[in-house]
Structure 1
Amino acid sequence: MASFLYPTKHSKSRNEFHIRWFTIAQEVELCGHATLAAAYFLFSTGLEGDEITFHGKSGILVVKKVESTQGGNFEIQLDFPALTVGECGEEEIPLLPETLNGASMTSVKKTSAGDLLVELSSVKDLMNLRPQFDEIRKCKGRGVIVTALAPIETGYDFLSRFFCPKVGVNEDHVCGAAHCVLTPYYSEKLKKDNFIAYMASERGGKLVIEYKKDANRVIIRGEAIIVMMGTLLV
């Protein structure tokens, strides 16, 4: 996933940018980790202030530099729109026998972003999934978010994985956009608004999340690090 930025023309603020997100196959309407990476780069390379306003396909996104809770230099706080879930029709429920390999689906929903949300009965089943991407491509939804409640001893509220081969992302490492769906889903299920979540991909990551129900927003905090810098000619 890549994000592309350019300054807004008519704003007096130097901390205001247009942002677009692309997979290797197409443009998408929202991407969490690419937004986090863009903001971290700007803050780390001399942008003044503690707040950036991005204008993207999903609306205005305010990103803040906040004090680290994990001993790092700082964390990035994303303010994203919450997404809704609805019921699936019988013809929309995914048939994933090879991918699920006997795992029990306790709930299947569809999201306003066009994905399917599948809840499994156990974290063990979630971790043991061996996704068959040809099988997932045949699903009605754009992608498939798979999730499960976390055992208390893990320190997490829920875990998830996100498969989206139709747009060129077989498995997203840490997907902020998926948590725009997962957060209100688990808020309703668990009757709470603050979560610690884990995306259980091969390069998984922790997310600290707050659901602002009245504003219909999801606040996500995370860390970043710059590993490479270069120049791209377009």
Structure 2
Amino acid sequence: MVKRPVKYCVVDAFTDAAFKGNPAAVCLLEKKEDQDEKWMQAVAAEFNMSETCYLTPISSTQSDANDHSVTRFHLRWFTPLVEVKLCGHGTLASAHFLFASSLARTDVIEFVTLSGVLIAKRVPTGSNVDTSKFSDGDPEEHFSIELDFPTIPVLECESADIPSLHETLNGAPVVNISKTAEAGGGEFDLYVELSSGKTVAYLQPQWEEIRKCPGRGVIVTGPAPDGSGFDFFSRFFCPKLGINEDPITGSIHCALVPYWSKKLGKCDLVAYQASPRGGVLELHLDETNQRVLIRGKAVTVMEGSLLA
């Protein structure tokens, strides 16, 4: 167990205003020996957020293949119940903490994770989408963060294998049922396309039935309303991870982006995750390297020290 005080902050990710987007706790550990998994899981349960992140410095800087300086950290993510293999909003929150606190003195951070090396890059603020209807207030910092994540294939799934899904989603009109090849922790997610983004936004699922579904969780998605400025809407239901709905989930867009890119015939997309807190993601599919670039903003809402 870690005995010394541990600095932490709470960051709202994929938003430019406090108390929107997806909150994550970010804890800064001094050395790898501080990574006591039992303690880390207990702290995550105490925070009771969709994700608690643990950063441990590897070295102050290192040069990448292009001879650019990068900052390197170990990064792990825990829900209130389990450690996960991949987390988008937790990575964004961790990068924002390092950039905003000047612990990262470069514009590129390499995170060594259970999903390999993930890159976060500080980029100038810019968006073609009017987000005023979804957030208010001024940005905390004048930069966005771009994450470089792997794609996750969407595979065919027999709807007969999940006969109760129609009732689970309270009769929502289902266009297609698929599943992801893999997800955090090595499990797949069910992938359900609905008839419209509006249906996605107003969906009220049966939580206990969601728990009975195969896989880790259920992704629901649909085309965005005309004139909204978005390409698609989504939501992610994951009661098995200790939270009924993850407000904004970067990692599910590793599957959503290739799916909608093929469906819409373009590689640059803007998505809205239509949870009650809501969040905006600017997205790009790198077809050659099978990578998804996920861009968003974040706001620090709390700072302190863990004393136990």
2:117 matched residue in structure 1: 60
Over the matched positions of the two proteins, sequence identity in percent amounts to 50
2:205 matched residue in structure 1: 131
How far did 1:144 drift? Answer: 0.2
Render the CA deviation track for 1:64-123: whole Å, top value 9, x for unaligned: 011011584100110001100111134433623444222111011110120010000122
Per the normalisation by structure 1, the TM-score is 0.94
Counterpart amino acid of residue 202 in structure 1: P
Change in CA separation of 1:105 and 1:218 when aligned onto 2, cut-off 3 Å: same
1: CA distance, partners of 2:161 / 2:299: 39
Q: Do the aligned partners of 1:93 and 1:108 also contact (CA within 8 Å) in 2?
A: no
1:28 matched residue in structure 2: 84
Asked which structure has the greater CA Rg, the reply is: 2
Q: Do the aligned partners of 1:94 and 1:139 also contact (CA within 8 Å) in 2?
A: no
Q: Do the aligned partners of 2:281 and 2:296 also contact (CA within 8 Å) in 1?
A: yes
Gaps of 5+ in 2: 1-50, 64-69, 128-137, 183-187
- CA RMSD in angstroms comes to 1.8
Render the CA deviation track for 1:15-56: whole Å, top value 9, x for unaligned: 101110000000001111111010001001112110100011
Q: How many aligned residue pairs are there? A: 234
1: CA distance, partners of 2:259 / 2:219: 12
2:130 matched residue in structure 1: none
Gaps of 5+ in 1: none
Q: Please state whether the residue corresponding to 1:215 is helix, strand or coil.
A: coil
Q: Do the aligned partners of 1:54 and 1:60 also contact (CA within 8 Å) in 2?
A: yes
Shifted more, 7-16 versus 209-218: the winner is 7-16
Match of 2:280 among 206, 214, 231: 206
Shifted more, 132-141 versus 67-76: the winner is 67-76
Change in CA separation of 1:144 and 1:94 when aligned onto 2, cut-off 3 Å: farther
Q: Please state whether the residue corresponding to 1:103 is helix, strand or coil.
A: coil
More RCO (CA 8 Å, sep 6+): 2
Shifted more, 91-100 versus 186-195: the winner is 91-100
2:306 matched residue in structure 1: 232
Q: Please state whether the residue corresponding to 1:15 is helix, strand or coil.
A: strand
How far did 1:11 drift? Answer: 7.1
Q: Please state whether the residue corresponding to 2:263 is helix, strand or coil.
A: helix
Counterpart amino acid of residue 43 in structure 1: F
How far did 1:9 drift? Answer: 6.0
2: CA distance, partners of 1:22 / 1:188: 32
Aligned pairs for 1:36-75 (under 5 A) are: 36-46=92-102, 47-69=104-126, 72=139, 73-75=142-144
How far did 1:10 drift? Answer: 10
